[in-house]
């Protein structure tokens, strides 16, 4: 499903748009409703975050949302139920999770339960390929795509090793910092994408920092996918009520979807 979503976007001469929200935020039903609004507005793939109490890579915006989700009683079971509901929207659904919750739940059990819920893959930002053997085997056994992260500091050998462990796409972190919307997208991201493409045929999606249609267009000029998380969370946090937040998330998705469809994308992708 993940590969098909990227192939469809490429056929439409644009980048794929990937949107993130933590399960249980702004509420259990509100998360599903917000994701539905995002998908209706043009999001191609969805990341459902598994709330965790020690989110090393998350900036203050996502941390605030995760804290609210945890306070509301969001568990791994709730995450899986959320995946099941979102999968009914007809788009690939990945879980974004740190490794500790997967290990505590049980590696094989998590893979089996996620696949049964209709999940397409898992993004594990803190899992290294050296320690991923059992997880990669579990994913292969249940038809899930494992996605690991590369960073601007990754060496060529490291890029090759990480990319070889991925399925679906490679997640390129545009900065060494934590998640969060930024005024400008990292200047090193284009070079990182080019370096990843030199070692794999998988699509490369860029995350960390994108919050506007203009920034989405910039990233879409050199990447296969644009990942947006904090901006969606902020739209919900800043809204006066849940319904207004859902509407704001949909409006942001529409702006971002227009950005990844900018006419400059095909020429940039083809190097002309």
Query: Is residue 206 assigned to a domain?
Result: yes
Catalytic residue among 40, 44, 54, 58: 58
Number of domains in the chain: 1
- Residue 187 predicted with pLDDT over 50: yes
Quote the mean pLDDT of the chain: 92
The domain spanning residue 259 has which CATH number? Answer: 3.20.20.70
CA separation for the pair 270, 272 (Å, rounded): 6
pTM score of the predicted model:
0.91
pLDDT digits (tens, 9 = 90+) for 155-185: 999 999 999 999 999 999 975 444 434 445 6
Q: Identify the pLDDT of residue 186.
A: 62
Q: Identify the pLDDT of residue 188.
A: 87
- Residue written as tokens 């370096």? 195
Q: Identify the pLDDT of residue 32.
A: 98
CB 17 within 8 A of CB 225: yes
CA-only gyration radius of the chain, Å: 17
DSSP string across 117-139: TT--EEE-TT--GGG-HHHHHHH
**Helical residues (DSSP H) of the chain, grouped into ranges:** 2-11, 28-41, 60-71, 76-87, 99-105, 107-116, 133-142, 156-165, 189-197, 213-220, 230-237, 242-260, 264-270
Query: Is residue 223 assigned to a domain?
Result: yes
Q: Identify the pLDDT of residue 175.
A: 59
Q: Locate 225 and state its tokens.
A: 């996918």
Query: Is residue 271 assigned to a domain?
Result: no
Domain holding 209, by residue range, is 2-264
Q: Identify the pLDDT of residue 38.
A: 98
Query: Is residue 210 assigned to a domain?
Result: yes
pLDDT digits (tens, 9 = 90+) for 223-261: 999 999 999 999 999 999 999 999 999 999 999 999 999
Instruction: Fill in the DSSP letter of residue 209.
Output: S
Catalytic residue among 44, 47, 145, 218: 47
Could you give phi then psi for residue 271, rounded to 5 degrees?
70, 25
Query: Is residue 74 assigned to a domain?
Result: yes
Which position has the higher pLDDT, 186 or 240?
240
Q: Identify the pLDDT of residue 174.
A: 76
**Is residue 58 among the annotated active site residues?**
yes
Distance of CA 74 to the CA centre of its chain: 19
**Is residue 157 among the annotated active site residues?**
no
CA separation for the pair 102, 124 (Å, rounded): 9
Query: Is residue 132 assigned to a domain?
Result: yes
- Residue written as tokens 């915006």? 61
Q: Identify the pLDDT of residue 54.
A: 79
CA separation for the pair 171, 47 (Å, rounded): 12
CB 14 within 8 A of CB 263: no
Q: Identify the pLDDT of residue 264.
A: 52
Q: Identify the pLDDT of residue 160.
A: 97
Number of alpha carbons in the 13 Å side-chain half-sphere of residue 8: 13
For the CA atoms of 97, 102, 104, 105, what is the dihedral angle to 10 degrees? 120
pLDDT digits (tens, 9 = 90+) for 5-25: 999 999 999 999 999 999 999
Helix (H, G, I), strand (E, B) or coil at 179: coil
Query: Is residue 272 assigned to a domain?
Result: no
pLDDT digits (tens, 9 = 90+) for 91-112: 999 999 999 999 999 999 999 9
Which of 188, 236, 191, 195 minimizes the C-alpha distance to 209?
188
Please report which confidence band the pLDDT of residue 48 belongs to, taking 50, 70 and 90 as the band edges.
Answer: very high
CB 191 within 8 A of CB 23: no
Query: Is residue 270 assigned to a domain?
Result: no
């Amino acid at each position: 499903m993940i590969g098909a979503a990227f192939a469809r976007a490429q056929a439409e001469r644009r980048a794929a748009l990937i949107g993130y929200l933590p399960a249980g935020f702004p509420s259990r039903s509100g998360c599903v409703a917000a994701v539905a609004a995002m998908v209706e507005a043009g999001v191609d793939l969805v990341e459902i975050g598994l709330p965790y109490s020690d989110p090393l890579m998350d900036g203050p915006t996502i941390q605030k949302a995760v804290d609210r989700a945890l306070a509301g009683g969001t568990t791994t079971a709730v995450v899986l139920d959320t995946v099941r509901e979102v999968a009914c929207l007809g788009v690939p659904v990945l879980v974004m999770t740190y490794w500790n919750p997967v290990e505590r739940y049980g590696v094989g059990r998590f893979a089996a339960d996620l696949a049964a819920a209709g999940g397409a893959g898992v993004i594990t930002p803190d899992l290294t390929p050296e320690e991923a053997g059992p997880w990669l085997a579990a994913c292969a056994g249940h038809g899930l795509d494992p996605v690991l992260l590369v960073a601007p500091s990754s060496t060529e050998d490291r890029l090759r090793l990480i990319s070889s462990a991925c399925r679906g796409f490679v997640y390129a972190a545009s900065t060494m910092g934590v998640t969060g919307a930024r005024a400008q997208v990292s200047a090193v991201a284009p070079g990182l994408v080019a370096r990843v493409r030199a070692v794999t045929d998988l699509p490369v999606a860029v995350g960390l920092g994108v919050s506007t249609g203009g920034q989405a267009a910039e990233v879409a000029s050199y990447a296969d996918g644009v990942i947006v998380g904090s901006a969606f969370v902020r739209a919900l946090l800043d809204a006066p009520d849940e319904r207004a937040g859902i509407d704001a998330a949909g409006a942001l998705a529409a702006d971002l979807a227009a950005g990844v469809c900018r006419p400059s994308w095909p020429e940039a992708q083809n190097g002309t």
